[in-house]
Every structure is written in C-alpha cells, then in structure tokens.
Structure 1
Amino acid sequence: MTHPAHTPASLPATRSKITLPAAGTAGRSRRARIEPMAVRPLRDGRYAVETEGGTYVVALDANTCTCPDHQLRHARCKHLRRVALEVTARLVPPPGQRTAVCAVCGGRTFVPTRVSGPALCDRHALRPGDVVADRETGDRLLVVAATGERADHVETDEGRVVADYPSNADYGGHEPVFRAVYVDSLRRDGEVRPYAFPASRLRRFRDVTAADDADVGPSPTGIGAPPTTA
C-alpha cells in the first residue's frame, strides 16, 4: 500500500560536494574521485560540475567539458570522468532522464525527461504481462496496460474516478493506474474485462510468468467484485 502520508517526498534542489572511493586509481581517474565535486543535471541534458576551482559544464553524450584541461589538451578530464561515475552509480540521472519520486514509496527514481505524470521506482513499477495479486481480495490478475495517469484523475465506466472507490481508500490518489484482467476470466469463454487499480493495490508475483500462471488453479475468492472498470 501507499503508506502513511500518501504524499511523495520532495527532493533537494542542490547537492553538497562529495568524494568517492579512490582505491586502485591514479591520475585523472583518482582526481575525479578524491576531489570534492557536486554534479547537478541541467535541463538540456548536460551537467554542471561544481568544484573548489570553479564550475564547468559537461556534455556526457558528446564527451565534452568546458574546463581548460579538456578545451586545451582535449583530455578526458576529471569532470567528465566524475559525471560518468555518478551516472553509473545512479547518483544522478543519465542523459535524457530526470530525477523523480516514486508515487508508492517516495524513493528516488529516474524517468525520461519528456515523461509526465506519476513515476514508479523499479521495485514498484508494473508492466503488461506481469502477474499480480489484488491486496484486497487475494485474486490473481494479469496486467494489460499502464495508463500513466493518477488514480484521482482516471474515470471508470461508472463516471467515478478510481481513487473515489471505498476499496481504494487506503491507496494514494496520486498513484498511477494500471489496468488488469482476472486470471480466472482468461480460463472461461466470453468477454475478458479489464479493471483499473491504483499501483500499490497490485502486488507483483516475483519470478512468475503469465504462462506459468495459466496452469494454476482458480484463486480462492474467484473473480469477486472489482472496484473499478476500465
């Protein structure tokens, strides 16, 4: 479930200068780690690198930096190396992505720059084909679509938003909505109807595929009465 405060945490706008472990390195690689630097992503996909000696701009994709070492010597300077290190360590987002807050746990994640709407971290993200359980009923479902929209924005066929259903009261209205079908309905002839759920209402079954699940017997509660329709 989305937990107590149902409100995403905020992220700091700036970072303090930090150092990185430097064992086994030398030269520019070592300086990239031991010198205090603060790497800050810019909106155009580049990075500002603040050091004790000044602030420089790194374009990681183009392998360029505005510092004298790169401009005059064409070296892969300590600033370029530092940005690459922090991207690899997931301290800053890679080019083309931005930092976001997971709508379920409030943890930090990265999403494509142009993507809007609520975000989810890897732990809570769901994808079409994932087999999940409804936390309210225990029923198994198959995820068929991610709407990318908030539970307090998505309307059902009944003209109500997903977040307004009493069975969704314990889940955040800011969470993204997923559409899923009950696995039991896939075993029967007739219409397979998708339903809409806030993200944290669906618990993913680890290491279980849709094909595996097709061989599992009916769930204890059956189809039940899902709270919302797609």
Structure 2
Amino acid sequence: MTHPAHTPASSDSDARRPLAPDTSRLDDRSARAWTEAMAVRSLGAGRYAVESQSGATYMVNLPRSDCTCPDHEIRGERCKHLRRVAIEVTEGRVPPPGKKRADCAGCGRESFVPETGPELCGDCWLERGDLATDKETGDTVVVYRLAEELAHERYIEAADSTVADYPKNEGYPSDDPVVEVVYPFSGSAARSAAEGASGEATDPRADADADLDERPRYAFPYSRLAVRDEMLIE
C-alpha cells in the first residue's frame, strides 16, 4: 500500500514559541522565521493565521504564497510569516494544505486526515488494488476505491438499505467510511461470496481477465475489511 500524509508532531498551538536551528548562514527573513516566537493556526483550505512576535496577526495563504503583512503586500517579499508556515508544515506541527487534524476513522489516533472525504490517516489509507480479507466470510477482495460517503449515508437500491443497515454489517460503526471492492475471481464462486456483501452490482459474473473497472463492485464498511500488505498489480 502507498500511504499519503503523516502523523502530526504536535497540536496546533495558540502559544507563541521559537524554533531554534543554527541560523547563522540564513538570510534575515529566514532566520526570523525560525527564531521568533509565533503561533500558527490552520484555518483550512491552505490558509493559516500567524500571530507574530509583535502580537499582530496575519493571514497566510500557503498555496498562493500570499500573506497580509506589509512586508509581503507592500514590499513584495516572501515574508517571515510565509516562511514560518512552510517550516511548521514541513515539521508536521500544523496540517498541510488539504489536510486537517482529527481522529482517524481507522485507528482512532489523532492524525492529519483529508479535509474532505474519508477521515483516514496515512497508515490507514487505502489505495486501488490493495488486497483485504472480508472479516465475515474470509474471502479475499480487492479495493476499488474509498468512497466519500459514510456507511449510514450510502444507500444500496438493490438491498433497499444503507450499507450500515445491511444485515451482514450489523455491529460495524455506522460512521465508517465506505470502501468499494471487487472480487478477484469470477463465476459461481464470486456469486456465492457476493451474497454476503452489500453492493450495487448489476451482473455478478465477470470475466476472469476483466480489469477492476469491468468487475461488479460491492460496498463495505471500512472496519469489516482486514487490509493486507499486498496489492493486486493490474
């Protein structure tokens, strides 16, 4: 599996603090970015509030390399506030653009997770082609994709229920992310295995050589799958 993101080093903090590497060879703005006491707080969408050592607060938009301070707006410089945000993101102290701090829906640890979509940390993230075992049946399945819906939000028309309410999913969290999977085999074995899965397949028969896009897909709550350290190479 390939896993984006990383576990945060510390929480966002309102307390100003210095960072202290050897700054003797840095230019003045870079040195101040490292050594001055500032507080950096993520606002989402790549925006950060930076309380400067002077007590003034400026807004940094990291993807746009923009800051509301005079050094940037008037002089056009890459100011110490922009540099400080970049440092704290690199150090894992605040979430990078596109991420937020939350408890991972997989392992429960406080982590950086996507701002939208499944709230999973890098260690719990699933990629297309990851192999997993269905805890209810012991069958091998292949991850097709992580869906944006939670188990109680995903409605399965063929079963007239949500993924959370599907009988075989009783006991799994209703707020689990939904994982769409396929079976890596075909014929009667696939049809038998699929009886225990919640899905929206129109035809449970798939050619043995069909790729993932051509196979019927089934929706599972994340916790029902035991992910392996293996991938299917398409």
TM-score where L is the length of structure 1: 0.69
Q: Secondary structure at the match of 2:19?
A: coil
Q: Secondary structure at the match of 1:185?
A: coil
Q: Secondary structure at the match of 1:85?
A: helix
CA contact (8 A) 2:118 2:146 kept: no
Q: Flag the 1:103–1:131 CA change in 2: closer, same or farther, 3 A.
A: same
CA contact (8 A) 2:141 2:183 kept: yes
Q: Secondary structure at the match of 2:58?
A: strand
Distance 2:153 2:13 in 1: 31
Q: Look up the equivalent residue of 2:18 and give its one-letter code.
A: T
The corresponding residue for 1:67 is: 69
Q: Secondary structure at the match of 1:42?
A: strand
Q: Secondary structure at the match of 1:81?
A: helix
Is it true that 1:210 corresponds to 2:209 in the alignment?
A: no
Distance 2:183 2:228 in 1: 14
CA contact (8 A) 1:99 1:109 kept: yes
Distance 1:23 1:204 in 2: 43
List alignment gaps of at least 5 residues for structure 1: 1-11, 213-230
Match of 1:94 among 96, 116, 120: 96
Shift of 1:104: 2.1
Distance 2:166 2:17 in 1: 47
TM-score where L is the length of structure 2: 0.68
The corresponding residue for 2:47 is: 46
The corresponding residue for 2:219 is: 196
Q: Secondary structure at the match of 2:77?
A: coil
Q: Look up the equivalent residue of 1:20 and give its one-letter code.
A: L
CA contact (8 A) 2:181 2:218 kept: yes
CA contact (8 A) 1:18 1:37 kept: yes
**1:73-152 mapped onto 2 (5 Å cutoff):** 73-95=75-97, 97-99=98-100, 101=102, 102-106=104-108, 107-111=110-114, 115=116, 117-152=117-152
Shift of 1:187: 9.9
Distance 1:19 1:186 in 2: 63
Q: Flag the 1:13–1:70 CA change in 2: closer, same or farther, 3 A.
A: closer
CA contact (8 A) 2:172 2:223 kept: yes
Deviation string, structure 1 residues 135-187 (Cα, Å, up to 9, x no partner): 33332111123321111122332212222345434432111111212334379
List alignment gaps of at least 5 residues for structure 2: 1-10, 191-203, 207-215
Shift of 1:31: 2.1
CA contact (8 A) 1:32 1:78 kept: yes
Q: Secondary structure at the match of 1:30?
A: helix
Q: By percentage of residues, which structure has more strand?
A: 2
Distance 1:88 1:61 in 2: 14
Distance 2:185 2:68 in 1: 60
Aligned length: 196
The corresponding residue for 2:210 is: none
Shift of 1:32: 1.3
Deviation string, structure 1 residues 186-229 (Cα, Å, up to 9, x no partner): 797971443221112222222x23149xxxxxxxxxxxxxxxxx
Q: Secondary structure at the match of 1:86?
A: helix
Please identify runs of 4+ aligned residues in structure 1 that moved more than 4 A: 186-190
CA contact (8 A) 1:118 1:174 kept: no
Distance 1:155 1:164 in 2: 9
Shift of 1:103: 1.9
Q: What is the root-mean-square deviation of aligned Cα atoms in Å? A: 3.1
Distance 1:173 1:15 in 2: 34
CA contact (8 A) 1:126 1:143 kept: yes
